Amino acid sequence: MKTIFQHCIGRSVAEREIVAFANFDIDGTPPPHDLTLLIGGMHGDEIATVLLLESFRDRFLNNEKLTSPIVLLPVANPDGYARHTRYNAHDVDLNRNCIWNWSAHSEEPPGPEPWSEPESRALRDFILKMEPAKIVSLHWALAEIDADGPQSTALAQAMWDALDDYERKPYRLRIAELGRGKRRLQRTYEICPGSLGQWCGYGLRYGDGMQPAMITLELPYDPAADSRPAPLPENHLADLHERWRADAGGYLAAVEIAVHKMLLAACDFRGFGGKGSVLR
């Protein structure tokens, strides 16, 4: 069995450690090629994202058959997780605090400026240091595999293809790409100001000029749904929280196999020529 390495990438507002787990020596240099970074708990009240990454770590990270380098960050917002709230201890939404399309007028509290929060800075600095080729961030509960940037399309498709027809039912595959209008470059995605996904997928370039493949994996609000409705019901998030309070174990059991399949597919994906470089 492989050793699981543990590393503190930074501290929260309340000085809680932000802990990463890896199947390689995370302090070694240089960072390994074709690295996959898995992130949960960006919003502290999205408890399932944390538990699913912890179960993935416990079941797979020390498996000798899983040869690709992997880093898990189960709790990106430890203060929010401890307080059972979406925000950090400054009442900032960390997923609106990144620099790409940051807006002071975001519906969710974005902080006084981009990267104002120690948690988002720690994650930013860790990504810039490790230069993961693939990033998957788990969230509640838009029920989709959301690819940011055209370089992310093949990874999203590989995750979708890992599921059988039944497992796909509560999800949709959402490919966001750039298209050229007559006069200017037009973005065909829905703007989420200051989000990690859109910073990584559109705004981030490594030193070699390459971009990571970025997937936001939104867990289903209703794992038993026959299809993913568009748009989602207005009360879908309240319904999910009620479902979670009534039977958290049942929810986890219903989504875990499919989520683990998608994460394994992401880790095993070989559509890259090296660190951060998508084969074109």
Q: What is the structure's pLDDT at 187?
A: 46
**Quick one: tokens of 139?**
């969230």
Helices 47-60 and 236-268: angle between axes, nearest 10 degrees:
30
Beta strand 178-180 pairing with 277-278:
unpaired
- Domains of the chain plus CATH, in order, are 5-272 (3.40.630.10)
Q: What is the structure's pLDDT at 176?
A: 59
For the question of whether the overall pTM of this predicted structure is more than 0.85, the answer is yes
Q: Which residues share a beta bridge with 20?
A: 7
Single-letter code of the amino acid located at 163: L
Give the Cα separation of 66 and 69 in Å (integer): 8
Q: What is the structure's pLDDT at 272?
A: 53
Give the Cα separation of 266 and 215 in Å (integer): 9
Residue 150 phi, psi (nearest 5): -60, -25
Using CB atoms within 10 Å of the CB of residue 270, give its burial: 0 to 12 exposed, 13 to 18 middle, 19+ buried. exposed
Tell me the three state secondary structure of residue 278. Answer: strand
pLDDT tens per residue across all 280 residues of the chain: 889 999 999 999 999 999 999 999 998 878 898 999 999 999 999 999 999 999 999 999 999 989 999 999 999 999 999 999 999 999 999 999 999 999 999 999 999 999 999 999 999 999 999 999 999 999 999 999 999 999 999 999 999 999 999 999 999 999 855 554 444 434 445 678 999 999 999 999 999 899 999 999 999 999 999 999 989 999 998 999 999 999 999 999 999 999 999 999 999 998 654 444 333 2
Residue 202 phi, psi (nearest 5): -125, -35
